[in-house]
Amino acid sequence: MKPESHQTVKIGVYVCHCGANIGKKVDVAAVVEYAKHLPGVVIARDYKYMCADPGQSLIKEDIKELGLDRVVVASCSPHLHEATFRKAAAEAGQNPYLFHMANIREQVSWVTLEGDDATKKAKAIVAGAVHRVRFHRALTPKQETVHPDVLIVGGGIAGITAALTIADSGKKVYLVEREPTIGGHMAKFDKTFPTLDCSSCILTPKMNAVKEHPNIHLLAYSEVTQVDGYVGNFRIVIKKKPRYVIEDECIGCYACVEQCVFKKPKFISEFDEGLGMRKPIYIPFPQAMPLKAIIDPESCIEFRTHHCKKTCVTACEEVAGRHAIDFTQQEEFVEVKAGAIIMATGFKTFDASQMPEYGYGRFENVYTSLEIERLVNASGPTGGEIILRNGEKPKAVGIVHCVGSRDKNYHSWCSLVCCMYSLKLAHLIKERTGAEVYNFYIDMRTPGKGYEEFYDKLLEEGVHFIRGKVAEITDAALAPEEEGKLIFRVEDTLVGMVRRIPVDMAVLSVGLEPQKDHEQMRRLFNLSCSKEGWFQERHPKLAPVSTFTDGVFIAGACQGPKDIPDTVAQAQAAAAEVMALIDHGVIALEPNIAAVNEEKCSGCHVCIAMCPYSAISYDDAKETAHINEALCKGCGVCVGTCPSKAITQQLFEDEQIFAEIEGLMAL
Ligand SMILES: Cc1cc2nc3c(=O)[nH]c(=O)nc-3n(C[C@H](O)[C@H](O)[C@H](O)COP(=O)(O)OP(=O)(O)OC[C@H]3O[C@@H](n4cnc5c(N)ncnc54)[C@H](O)[C@@H]3O)c2cc1C
């Protein structure tokens, strides 16, 4: 590209104080004075907050009055305000890509100790920007139409809320849930903190609404296996796993379950966290959605021996008048198109057996909190009765907070909900058994509406709180009254002594962790993950439900531990983002992407393997690499790796980069 001469460009430079953020460290007036003498600069100004309306007006007026054809703003990170200033330039009639942003906050004032050094560095960065902006060319974003349908992955309260919000706006939603029923963790709870409202009373109507909604296509017991395309135009392949029960035929009447050759439930119920039993043909729980039977081939005699009397089939035909059972059912693949995707895949709980000192799996009366959720649940394995394995009511119960959380050996993060759900369980246990309940906590964390008040209520109820991390739970009795008990050994840090507390039942408040398959999901949907495995939001404050992949949003606990109110709020936020995208109908694709010079390309495939966004393919006819402009994110990896120098990237062309270096070194 031929460089523009200094005479033919008119550059305006605008230096921001960002309040005291930049102004306190950098001598802004000196930077402005310096900028005035840089090649091509016709005006240089400073303003307290350049991003504010008056700051933007300065730029717009100069573009119009002085005929500026290039603009440099020296302020914060382009992540924050590049779009703001590009828009201002465009409103004044300038092509927005003839603008460049110099970061003198994150890269200078916030990280440089001495004021003189900061000012010098700011001048260098501004000079680099002025030199490079001369080589900018006017670019035009491409427009793509947006497919109006939406895919939501995960049918917990996050996925359900987002699906209903979007479907209510008239858009079609595909809701994919990998388990046989939607509901997620919330479906397992009896009550929810802090209001103690009945979980199923608030969840079941929503689950029903999903089923009834004409705009929601529920694909339960299904998984996404392939995702292609880009924002506005995703193509998704979904695997429907075989239930061995035809969904459209089954009416959820339980006749097959009742007439199964196994007279009694004999196999571990996954939904009841292993505390209850089910038959090989079962419905996970009475409010399951869809309310359809499913056969577990591992335990079904027909699958294992082919010699079952198939009483379930007879019952289905004779009692329900249906032919719903199909032992030959195979997995099925469905392809759908969507303009946007919401990931709502939730969390899993910490495996308590990783902490042998608490005896989970060794002592029969040591439970996880999720197991207790099932025990206290009226539709759980004991009908809501809190009993020990021997059927007796516990007289004393110990609840250990932070199991697997806030522990450098396991997870250093706070799981956010454990203090509150421990208080909830303490209340329910005390209410239903009259037992003495001990909470062993490190710090009590109750930030939330009505949460601290709930804690106060527990104190009034006479629940005991002992501040200290439980060292171990043993069955080693030292006195006759400890016989048959679980003994908690804990340092009570408020009293300053080690205590031994015998109880009948231990509850381990296990922390929240990312789903096991988060890495697989990350790759499939082209997402970023935090180092712990939570899906990464685009910006923690300004774009909390967006991701670095345009068109893919996140909601709920897959982004990090959170309670139900925050999950619902985030799901609605993700739904709003999706609706804004789809209602717009078209999207503008960023033009700062890579381009292949076909004459130079040797067809070596190196760039194809390196592209992190799968945006490059091989054009067999031309024998060259081809870049899908909609998928390219302009990361520059292909430009750097191309051995033939056949790939260039808009806004990062050699002339622009060399000019920037020249400017940086000029001081
Ligand atoms: C013991 C315990 C008690 C709690 N009690 C309360 C309480 O009283 N009040 C409160 O506010 N919060 C409580 N919470 C927190 C609450 O569980 C979460 O806030 C809530 O479940 C988050 O909802 P979600 O939809 O994001 O995730 P989840 O509930 O985990 O739902 C995720 C869904 O996605 C599905 N899924 C996962 N991966 C895939 C995939 N690859 N494809 C398709 N589907 C997939 C899952 O099967 C699941 O159905 C408690 C948590 C625990 C552990």
* pLDDT tens, position by position, 174-212: 999 999 999 999 999 999 999 999 999 999 999 999 999
Domains in the chain, number: 4
| CA–CA gap between residue 604 and residue 576 (Å, rounded) | 43
Find the 513 Cα to ligand 1 centroid distance in Å: 11
259 touches ligand 1 (CB under 6 Å):
no
User: Using CA positions, which residue lies closest to atom 8 of ligand 1?
Assistant: 192
Residue 347 Cβ inside 6 Å of ligand 1? The answer reads yes
Containing 349, the helix (H) or strand (E) segment is: strand 347-349
Residue 327 phi, psi dihedral angles, 5° rounding? -70, -10
154 lines ligand 1 (CB under 6 A): yes
CB distance 158 to ligand 1 below 6 Å = yes
What's the CA-to-centroid distance between 511 and ligand 1, angstroms? Answer: 12
486 and 504 part of one domain: yes
CA–CA separation, 434 and 431 (whole Å): 6
- Residues 395, 437, single domain; the answer is yes
- Tell me: do 22 and 122 sit in the same domain: yes
- Is residue 517 included in any domain, yes or no? no
- 369 with 408, same domain? yes
Site to substitute for ligand 1 among 185, 418, 525, most atoms within 8 A of C-beta:
185
- Strands 233-240, 222-230: pairing kind: antiparallel
My answer on whether 356 and 489 are in the same domain is yes
Q: 174-204 burial string, b = 16+ CB within 10 Å, else e?
A: bbbbbbbbbbbbbbbbbbbbbeeeebbeebb
585 lies in some domain:
no
Tens digits of residue pLDDT in 561-607: 999 999 999 999 999 999 999 999 999 888 989 999 999 999 999 99
Does 362 lie in the same domain as 482? yes
Beta strands in 526-659 (DSSP E): 552-554, 586-589, 594-596, 616-619, 624-627, 647-649
Percent of the chain exceeding pLDDT 90 equals 94
For residue 435, being part of any structural domain is answered with yes
- Provide the sign of the torsion angle of the four alpha carbons 603, 609, 610, 611, taken in this order: positive
State whether the beta carbon of 184 lies less than 6 angstroms from ligand 1: yes
In this structure, the answer to whether residues 367 and 308 fall within a common structural domain is: no
The token pair at 147 is: 């497919």
pLDDT band at residue 8, thresholds of 50, 70 and 90? Answer: confident
Whose C-alpha lies nearest to ligand 1, atom 3?
Answer: 421
DSSP for 130-181 reads HHHHTT-----PEEEE--S-EEEE--SHHHHHHHHHHHHTT--EEEE-SSSS
Ligand 1 pocket: which of 236, 342, 421 to mutate (most atoms <8 Å of CB)?
421
Residues 259 and 364 in one domain: no
Q: What is the pTM of this model?
A: 0.88
203 Cβ inside 6 Å of ligand 1: no
Q: Are strands 332-338 and 233-240 parallel, antiparallel or unpaired?
A: antiparallel
Which domain, by its residues, includes 52? 11-139+656-665
DSSP string of 374-418, one letter each residue:
HHTSTTSTTTT----TTSPPPSEEEEEEEESSS-TTS--S--SSH
Specify if 151 maps to a domain: no
| In a domain? residue 285 | yes
Query: How many other β-carbons are positioned within 10 Å of the β-carbon of residue 582?
Result: 23
Nearest Cα to Cα of residue 443 among 479, 469, 411? 469
Percent of the chain, pLDDT > 70? 99
Q: Is 323 exposed, middle or buried (0-12, 13-18, 19+ CB in 10 A)?
A: exposed
The overall average pLDDT reported for the chain is 96
Say if 486 falls within a structural domain.
Answer: yes
In this structure, is residue 339 part of a structural domain? no
pLDDT at res. 1: 46
